[in-house]
Structure 1
């Protein structure tokens, strides 16, 4: 909680943290209107999943050149320009007139999100180096907080009845707050750093951690994209509760990220991964019961369980004997991001061919696999 107090008391730290929150506010607002976009364009779940693939494609397209862009512009400027670009492109997926323009809009929305993601993480890293202050974990907590704020916005679905107007209001508010604090980080720069390529000899000890990261973040991505549709089609939730699954997930995710470090210090990394995966398993079981309120409880439990797993994987991966911490963390982050982006379209296809219940049954099996993997991690730790 010390880093949270630091962010809230100093604009130099609040500015970057708010960019983290902004990214998930934009993305989360898009997510709660996925069912509305599907209905407006008259597409099925498989087509929607393929369109969402273009969001992933945009992110992966920008990744190879993002570091070069950040170094050329300066990390502070790159972060601010990312905020501007996201503010411009966030609205287009909600006003796309047809399926093909939706794919194009999601591609550019993904690309600007990817650039901002890399820039803001680099920005926090450089500020930590300059100031000797640690607030990266709390900044990621702000990312989760952004999801909470986006989820709260779901209660405007009924009164507004206009996705584009809702997103436009979000864009204006979020942009103005970023504009207020941009001067506190705009001039931060970082010298380009030569990084070694990933070595195959590192793959073996990190393989299991990579699988766990892929499954957990794949589950996160699936809940972001499909929780609203699950509540609508399977749970038959009223319209004002369609976005509440994402909200419940985000609230408990945020709480877990702000409190997880203290719990980990008491019980250890492997045990907290086991505890988190067990809570997530219980959450999926609740979701599969299909009743509206038990499903909402399930999404809340999944968020709480997942919140502590990824930070602990970073800790474990960064302390494997003979492996540089930066390489371990990079591998886990890469596999996790791949799961986050790849799982939703694949699961969307399966949801169309079978049902969304089948999709979440597969996610339950993945959570059980993560729980079982902690037995291997514990044995290796000993």
Structure 2
């Protein structure tokens, strides 16, 4: 909890953490209005799927150039410009008057989200280096808190009665806080790195970290998308408890991120990733009992395990010897987003052709694979 107190007591850290919160508030507010936009534009599910793919396309388009832009501007300024970009583009999908404008709006919104994600994780990495303080995990905890704020804000939907107005109010309030706090981080620039020429030796740790990112993001996406259906179909949970798995997962995810920095400082980033994978694997074993109570407890273990993996990956990726922090973070983010987007789809095919239970067996083996990779990385000293 030391890192949480650090964020809450010092504007230098809170300003950065609030950007994480902002990202999830903007994205989450858009997400709750997806059905409304579908009905407003009179599009079917297939058309909606293509539009949402444009959002993903925007994310991936920005990844190859993000690190160059961040290094040119300075990571503090890049993060602030990312906040401005995301604020503006968050309004566009709900303002789209036709399907083609919606696709364009989501492409730009995706690009802004991809850029700010890389910039802000790089900024945390650089501040940690400069101040010798760990707060990456707690900062990601503030991202989770953004989702909680969106959930609370959803109660205002019938009161406001207008999606664009709701998003507009949200953007103004969130941006105003960012405007006030930007002075605490805008001056930060990345420390110079003695770059090494490309080699397999240099790329290997990044590749392994990318695999862990793919698995971790993909597993998170799978649990978000499939936990309710698993409880309904595989454990025959009553309707009241169908959403309990996701709630347990989200709660322990937030808690774990607030505790992760202190544990990481004691045992090191590689070991905490391994510990997280081990806890997640235990969670999948409990989920696979197909008992409602044990499965819900299993999803809680999943949240606790995965909570520390993603923040630590960004921390490790931003500190790979001979690689710019922004390039390392961009590689991790790119690998992770591919997993987040493809993971649930792949598991859906497995569930359709065999059983949802087999999908979660695969997730168990993948968690154990991550545990094995951490042993290799630990031996190699990154």
Per the TM superposition, whether the score is higher than 0.5 is yes
**Aligned counterparts of 2:330 and 2:186: Cα–Cα separation in 1:** 26
Cα gap change, 1:152/1:107 in structure 2, threshold over 3 Å: closer, same or farther? same
8 Å contact kept, 1:21–1:142: yes
Among 314, 328, 335, the residue aligned to 1:338: 335
* Residue correspondence of structure 1 range 38-77 to structure 2 within 5 A: 38=38, 40=40, 41-44=42-45, 46-77=46-77
1:87 paired with 2:87, answer: yes
Question: Helix, strand or coil for the counterpart of 2:186?
Answer: coil
8 Å contact kept, 2:256–2:307: yes
1:272 paired with 2:275, answer: yes
**Aligned counterparts of 1:152 and 1:357: Cα–Cα separation in 2:** 38
List per-residue Cα deviations over 1:90-142 (Å, max 9, x = no partner): 12223434443332111101111122223223333443444444433322222
1:368 paired with 2:371, answer: no
8 Å contact kept, 2:249–2:299: yes
Which residue in 2 is equivalent to 1:216?
A: 216
The offset of 1:9, in angstroms, is 1.0
The offset of 1:19, in angstroms, is 0.9
**Aligned counterparts of 2:346 and 2:39: Cα–Cα separation in 1:** 17
With structure 1 as the length reference, what TM-score do the two structures score?
0.75
Cα gap change, 1:103/1:197 in structure 2, threshold over 3 Å: closer, same or farther? farther
- Which segment drifts farther, 363-372 or 200-209? 200-209
Question: Helix, strand or coil for the counterpart of 2:44?
Answer: coil
1:31 paired with 2:28, answer: no
8 Å contact kept, 2:196–2:322: no
* Equivalenced residues, count: 371
Which residue in 2 is equivalent to 1:139?
A: 139
**What CA RMSD, in Å, does the superposition of the two structures yield over aligned residues?**
4.5
* Residue correspondence of structure 1 range 116-155 to structure 2 within 5 A: 116-155=116-155
**Aligned counterparts of 1:249 and 1:137: Cα–Cα separation in 2:** 16
**Aligned counterparts of 2:195 and 2:377: Cα–Cα separation in 1:** 29
Question: Helix, strand or coil for the counterpart of 2:187?
Answer: coil
Cα gap change, 1:256/1:350 in structure 2, threshold over 3 Å: closer, same or farther? closer
| Alignment gaps of 5+ in structure 1 | none
**Aligned counterparts of 1:98 and 1:229: Cα–Cα separation in 2:** 33
| Alignment gaps of 5+ in structure 2 | none
Which residue in 1 is equivalent to 2:251?
A: 251
Cα gap change, 1:341/1:210 in structure 2, threshold over 3 Å: closer, same or farther? closer
